[in-house]
Chains A and B, each alone.
Chain A
Amino acid sequence: DAGVTQSPTHLIKTRGQQVTLRCSPKSGHDTVSWYQQALGQGPQFIFQYYEEEERQRGNFPDRFSGHQFPNYSSELNVNALLLGDSALYLCASSLAGGAALRELFFGEGSRLTVL
């Protein structure tokens, strides 16, 4: 059973460019959340997608956008990259439904370096 997979694992961009990161959730999961983890910091919530819609959003500018596809996979797009966007971007998947709390499963992340 494949877990959460993310691509690419590493990438380097320059300021002002745009980047797309991809995530395939764990089999059977329908909800994808994205987190940004700057060096030496804990992960920070960017947004969550469920039923192809953004369900919740953290305190990130509109340069950060996302998409969820019918097969539940997801993309994170960041436009007009800044040096401060350099971070590990983590994708987490979970299963929605009911009132029960569902466990998050994290991928290994995409390491973005902005020069």
Chain B
Amino acid sequence: AQSVTQPDIHITVSEGASLELRCNYSYGATPYLFWYVQSPGQGLQLLLKYFSGDTLVQGIKGFEAEFKRSQSSFNLRKPSVHWSDAAEYFCAVGARAGGTSYGKLTFGQGTILTVHP
């Protein structure tokens, strides 16, 4: 069974500081990995995804993530955080479903990011 662990429930950083959100996954095959962001009362917005190839993936809003198979990790990074980045961030692993649209996503519990001015 697939699972995702986000070890940090809440992270606080100062505006302009660098950010790293941790994600560890468990999956029996090549994982499809995602990072989503959710603002209060909103749905989920995809930041970036990893399917294959280059293990460093670039996303929207200046975010990037690195897939490390040996560590079963897919950590999200941003070199300089903006106040508008305050939100909840979810890591997810996806499974292909019978060759059609991929199947269910398994999400971590999320990391709440607070940005201090």
Q: A42-B108, A43-B90 are in contact. Are A50 and B100 (CB under 8 A)?
A: yes
Which residues of A are at the interface with B, using a C-beta cutoff of 8 A?
Answer: 4, 31, 33, 35, 40-45, 48, 50, 55-56, 58, 90, 92, 94-99, 101-109, 111
Q: Is the CB of A101 within 8 A of B96?
A: yes
The answer to whether A4 touches B104 (Cβ under 8 A) is no
A43 pairs with B96, CB closer than 8 A: no
One of A4, A35, A44, A95 near B101 (C-beta < 8 A): A95
Is B27 interfacial (CB-CB < 8 Å)?
A: no
Q: What number of residue pairs across chains A and B have CB atoms under 8 A from each other? A: 75
The total of chain B residues at the interface (CB under 8 A) is 28
Q: Which 4 A-B pairs have the closest CB atoms?
A: A42-B107, A45-B104, A96-B101, A106-B43
Q: Which residues of A contact B51 (CB under 8 A)?
A: 101
- Residues in chain A near residue B105, CB distance under 8 A: 35, 43, 45, 104
Bound together, the chains give a CA A4 to CA B94 distance in angstroms of 20
**B44 contacts the other chain (CB 8 A):** yes
* Contact A96 B43, beta carbon cutoff 8 Å: no
- 7 new A-B pairs (CB below 8 Å) besides A48-B101, A55-B100, A103-B49? A43-B105, A90-B43, A98-B100, A99-B99, A101-B51, A102-B102, A108-B43
With a cutoff of 8 Å between Cβ atoms, the chain B residues found around residue A103 in the complex are 46, 49
